[in-house]
Structure 1
């Protein structure tokens, strides 16, 4: 058994796909178990690399699998907590970044590295050959392309949430230009999505009810996605869907999509800025993003640029 830890969110899973596929290729006969939140299961299935999810609550597994893994792989962080968690499963080997506190050898961690490249580099250190461009997810079965334009105003932290009135203005302008605009968000963001839709002059039909699988399918068949720096932007990358991603506290050099005309990024920050701001305020770099440049980026993303990936 290969036990892999990546107990994080949607974007984290999407950026870990090349590493997961490299492990699947290297150990085709071994069961590959991913320790991750249970709610991610619909997306984990779309990677085609994982045999089973071991549900976690944060960094706490509900139960370790029986028996000691042949190999444990830390795709979660630099340690020492995550290293020690995997060591508690008594694996024969542990692949991870170096941590003196946990007594683990491995390559050195770099804060400035892109998230996709980081885990691929670690696996190369241990002799694997991951493909950093292998980010594609399969489309959930039973869903047809809808060609909608998705505006996704939510994000996990307040510092990454562009003002809702600006999202509403973008949605209104795109609707007036002939786009079939829908507003998406998590169940906890229903008030936000309803406000954006109302302020954009859109009716209740612009607020589709989605679970994680249907949201992935909606993005896979969409005409365009406009969002902040949050998990859905990585799903647009996975499906080759034209996208505009608005960055605030985090540099796109660390979390942005691959350089491609279909994926436009807007960022007015500096490399010295790092991490979310505490409190309810929007990051100044995100506040500097205007409606007009967002619409211009949308037009650029929609220009012909070769076939979409699948």
Structure 2
């Protein structure tokens, strides 16, 4: 392993960011820890285009290097292939690469870029490409579930961070904030209207087994309107359009259809800041809500909550124990009982409990 003192003297750091939106949100506390460790260093974040808006306006990094299939300017890598990215990075003279993803590809890319120090977990057969190999905990040959948030912070602790905070946070800009308020106003909701804004996030990129049913999201929406006088907004990625349409078609509850109004990931952050509560599957917007302190009810099915634990006191997880789970499968080979047994009433009960506790806290304050 390399001398930690040598790293503390590093002046130009590259942090390779995860691919998934939720993982990027959970990586922000680690970026903050790096900035605290190296207040005078130049820190750049290498990130794929799809997740880039998550770290826009983040004060802990000096620069974002996007990976796009078609570069938007001459100051970007010429394409997303590892050779092209490595060639670009080699010209930047980074002295250290910190690899948050576990992939062999990212370690090879850092090695080909001739970055002298390469820090990451010894996974995916890439240990020989790293100068600092962090070991992963196993039991009986299997990985022990560890929160992704804490997994990333483990690198910061290895490099010298003392009890780094798990607090997630995200940042927005005035332009997206204005666009978000305009969308909500067009949908009939304003911050001073007196109605709670409940956001539904019925999609999930990981696979269909991870998604609770559209008609049940619709039933929760109906309960929120009837019993809480809430305004409902629905969000999702472009590939989830059919899921959003199913939710909307399953009820006569009016919904602010954010994607149809032109929402992107940047404006989603600004919209979420105004939400009273979110109901979500275990996917990226859940983490965005938590990062802004917005209460969230998360439905878990085949995935193990221990992998994505976020230490957020205003989250309520709804799940049922089944003999076959958590299986981590993208498609259920049986009858999807981990999701079919989660009822709208179970979810709405947690919505009420969260909003009630929030109301009591505001009253006592």
1:30 aligned residue:
41
Residue 200 (structure 2) aligns with: 151
- Cα distance in 1 for residues equivalent to 2:235 and 2:153: 31
Q: Decide whether aligned partners of structure 1 residues 274 and 8 sit closer, same or farther in structure 2, where only a CA change above 3 A counts.
A: farther
Corresponding residue for residue 169 of structure 1: 219
Correspondence 1:194 to 2:245: yes
- Counterpart position of 1:231: 284
- Normalised to the residue count of structure 2, the TM-score between the two structures is 0.76
- Over 3 Å counting, the alpha-carbon distance change for 1:81 and 1:187 in structure 2 is closer
Q: Which of 84, 87, 106 is the matching residue for 2:111?
A: 87
For residue 294 of structure 1, the aligned residue among 347, 352, 355 is 347
Is the CA contact (8 Å cut-off) linking 2:303 and 2:328 kept in structure 1? yes
CA shift at 1:253, angstroms? 1.7
Cα pair distance change 1:196/1:251, threshold 3 Å: same
What secondary structure is seen at the aligned counterpart in 1 of 2:98? strand
Q: CA deviation at 1:28?
A: 2.6
Match of 1:106 among 105, 128, 133: 133
Change (3 A) 1:278 1:44: same
What number of residue pairs does the alignment pair up?
A: 304
Q: CA deviation at 1:272?
A: 6.2
Match of 1:67 in 2: 92
Cα drift, residue 82 of structure 1: 2.7
* Residue segments in structure 1 that go unaligned for 5+ positions in a row: none
For residue 96 of structure 1, give the secondary structure of its aligned residue in structure 2: strand
SS in 1 for 2:92: coil
Q: Please list the CA deviations of residues 237-294 of structure 1 after superposition, one character each: whole Å capped at 9, or x if unmatched.
A: 101101100111212222133151x211112247963423347988432232111110
Distance in 2 between the 1:102 and 1:257 partners? 28
Unaligned runs of at least 5 residues, structure 2? 1-11, 70-79, 138-142, 182-189
Aligned position for 1:4: 15
Greater helix proportion: 2
Is the 2:44–2:61 contact (alpha carbons within 8 Å) kept by the matching residues of 1? yes
RMSD: 2.6
Cα distance in 2 between the residues matched to 1:148 and 1:264: 18
Whether 1:121 aligns to 2:154 is yes
Match of 2:234 in 1: 183
Partner of residue 164 from structure 2, selected from 124, 131, 139: 131
Larger radius of gyration: 2
TM-score by length of 1: 0.88
Determine the C-alpha separation between the residues in 1 that align with 2:68 and 2:335.
Answer: 28
